Chain A
Amino acid sequence: MAKKLSSFAGVKSNLLNGRSVVIGVPYLWFLLLAAIPLLIILKISLSEMESTTISNMIDWRDGWPKLTLNFVSYQFILTDSLYYKTYLSSIQYALITTVLCLVIGYPFAYFMARSPKHIQPTLLMLIMLPFWTSFLLRIYAWKTLLVSNGVINNTLMSLGLIDAPLPMMNNSFSLLVGMVYSYLPFMILPLYANLSKLDIRYLEAAADLGTSPFKAFWLITVPLSKAGIIAGSMLVFIPAIGEYVIPELLGGSSTLMIGRVLWDEFFNNNDWPMASAVAVIMILLILLPMALYNKSQADQLEAKA
C-alpha cells in the first residue's frame, strides 16, 4: 500500500500541468451550464414581471447599487392553495410510484440475482433495452393501450369480459402506469447491482442456525441491500416529482403535477419569475432526497475501497 501511494505521488508531480487541465475543463463546463443557471433561476424568481421584461434587481442610484428583492411570486405561491395542492399531489404521485417500483422491482432484482450466472447478462440487457428505445414513444404506446377504444379495452370487450370500456385513461391510474413503467428500470438496476454482490454464505449460515428463509430474507438480505434500496428509490422519486411528459400525455387535466404548472407558467403565461419560483421551491423539496442519494453513493464507494 505504501509503495503504491508513493508511486502515485510520483505520477502526480509529473502530471501537475495536466492535472489542472483535467480538473479545470469539466469544472468550467459544469460551472457554466449547471451552477450559474441555478443561481440565475434564484435571481429571476426574486424579480417581478413588468409587461414584457422582468424588473431589474439591481438599480444604480448615485453610483451605488440598490438591491431590490421581490417576493411577489413566492407570496403568490404560498397564499394560493392551488400551488400547495399541486406540490402535495406531485409528492404523493412520486411516492406511490417509488413504492410500486420497489414492490415490483425488488423481487425482480432478487430473482434476477439468483438466476444462473450465464443468463444474467441477457436478463439485464432485456431490462436495459426498453430504456434505450424512445421514452416518448413508449409513453405514447400506453396511450394507444389505455384509451377507452384502446387495445386493452377492445380486447377485453371482444372476449366478453367487460361490457363497457374501463376508464383507464386521463386519470391517476394511467399516470401511475406511465410513471411506474418509465422508472422501473431505474429501481431494478441499482437493486440488482447490490443484490448480485450479496454473499450467499450469510444466508447459509442463517439456515444452519435454524432461521426460516422468510425470516432470513427480512433479517439479512433486506438490511444488506439498504444502499441499493435508497439509491433506487431516490433515482425514481426525485425525477418523478418534476415529471412533465407523462402527466401531459397520460394524466389528463385532473391530475395535478408541479412540472406541468412550471411549464404553463413559462410557456402559456410567459411569467418567468413565477416559473422560476415554482422551480426554486421544487429544488428545495428535492434537496433532502438528493443529499440522501449522494450519501448512499459515497458510503457504497467507501465500502468498496
Chain B
Amino acid sequence: MNESMNKIFAKSWMLLVYIFLYMPIVTLVVFSFNDSKLVTVWSHASFRWYGALMEDSRIISAVGLSLKIAFLSALISVFFGTFTAFALNRYKRFKGRTFLSSMASMPLVMPDVIVGLSLLLMLISAQHLMGFPEKGLFTILLGHALLGTAYAAVVVTSRLREMDAKLDEAAMDLGCKPFQVFILVTLPLLLPSLLSAFLLTFTLSFDDVVLSSFLSGPGYTTMPMEIFSRARLGLNPTINAIATVTIVVVSAAVIASSFYSSHQERKRKREEAQAYSNN
C-alpha cells in the first residue's frame, strides 16, 4: 500500500511538472489557429494569422536576418568551442588555464544585460580607435558567437571526456601526424557532438533578444527583437503563428538529431564491442 502510494505520488508530481512546462507551449499553438483578433478568446479555427504572417514583410525580413546570423554564429561557435574544449581537456597544466576556464564559463551564467553592455562598450571603444566595426550584423554576430562558444565548449567537452585518449595514441604510434590524428580519428568521433553543438548554438542565437538589442544598429532587427517589441505592447495573434512555426521546426530538428545521435552511439558501441571481441 505504502509502496504504491509513493509511486502514485511520484508519477503525479512528474506529470504536474510536465504540464507546467508544456501548458504555455500548447496554448500558443492552439490559439494560433484561433480566428478571433482577441488572442485569448476562442472563436473558431482558421489559418487567418498564418496568412497575415505571410504578408508581414517586417517579420519576413527579420526572420531572414535571424537565420543568417544564427547560421554564421553557430559555425563560429562550434569552431571556437571545439578549440576551447580541446585546450581545457587535453592540456591539464598551462599558464592561465584557470583564467581561460573561468572566461569560458562566464557567458553561461553572467546575466545577458551585462554581457551585452560590456561587449557594446568594447566595440564602441574599438570603433573610436580604428573606425571599425560599424554596429550591425557583424556586431550582433560577435555577441552571439561569444555566447555560443561557451555553450559549444560544454557540449564538446562532455564528449571529449568520454572519448578514449588511447585511440589518439594508437594512431600516433602508427605514424600519424598530430593534425592527421585530429582529422582522421578525433574529428569523426566528435562529429555527433559537433552537430548537437551546432544545433544548440543555432537556436541560442535565433532566440536571443538582449544581446541583439544592445549590439544591433539601425536597419538590423532580428526576429526576437521584432517579437519582443510587439509583445511589450500587448498580445498579438501573429506572434502565436510565428511561435507555432518555430516550435514545429525546432522540435522536428531536435527529435531528428537525437534519434540520429542515439543511432550513431549504438553503432559505435557495436563496432567497439566487435573490435574488442576480435582481439
Query: Which A residues lie at the B interface, using CB under 8 A?
Result: 7-8, 10-11, 14-15, 18-19, 22-23, 25-27, 29-31, 33-38, 40-41, 44, 104, 107-108, 111-112, 114, 121, 123, 125-130, 132-145, 147, 149-151, 154, 181, 184-185, 234-235, 238-239, 241-245, 248-249, 259, 262-263, 266-267, 272, 275-276, 279, 282-283, 286, 290, 293-294, 297
Contact with A along B225-258 (1 / 0, CB 8 A): 0011001100100011011001100110011001
B193 within 8 A of A: no
Contacting pair A138 B13 (CB below 8 A): no
Contacting pair A138 B25 (CB below 8 A): yes
Instruction: Say yes or no: A147-B83 contact (C-beta < 8 A), given A14-B172, A279-B113.
Output: no
A43 to chain B, nearest CB (A): 9
A213 to chain B, nearest CB (A): 9
B117 contact from A111, A238, A279, Cβ within 8 A:
A279
Among B14, B91, B231, B247, residue most surrounded by chain A Cβ atoms (within 10 Å)? B231
Among A8, A22, A123, A290, residue most surrounded by chain B Cβ atoms (within 10 Å)? A22
Size of B's binding interface in residues, CB under 8 A: 85
Identity of the chain B residue whose Cβ is nearest the Cβ of A45 in the assembled complex: B121
A-B contact pairs, 24 of them (CB 8 A): A22-B86, A25-B83, A30-B103, A34-B106, A41-B121, A44-B121, A104-B20, A121-B262, A132-B203, A132-B251, A133-B25, A133-B251, A137-B239, A141-B28, A143-B235, A144-B31, A145-B23, A149-B41, A150-B40, A181-B21, A272-B121, A283-B110, A286-B111, A290-B109
B188 within 8 A of A: no
B47 to chain A, nearest CB (A): 19
A23 and B95 CA atoms in complex are apart in Å by: 10
A173 and B106 CA atoms in complex are apart in Å by: 30
Contact with A along B7-47 (1 / 0, CB 8 A): 00011011001101111110110010000001111000000
A237 to chain B, nearest CB (A): 9
Residues of A within 8 A of B40 (CB): 144, 147, 149-151, 154
A234 contact from B14, B80, B109, B122, Cβ within 8 A:
B109
Contacting pair A244 B111 (CB below 8 A): yes
B84 within 8 A of A: yes
A294 and B105 CA atoms in complex are apart in Å by: 9
Contacting pair B109 A130 (CB below 8 A): no
Q: With contacts A26-B80, A134-B206 known, what are 13 further pairs, Cβ within 8 A?
A: A22-B87, A104-B17, A134-B247, A135-B207, A136-B207, A138-B25, A140-B239, A141-B28, A144-B39, A144-B240, A154-B41, A181-B20, A282-B111
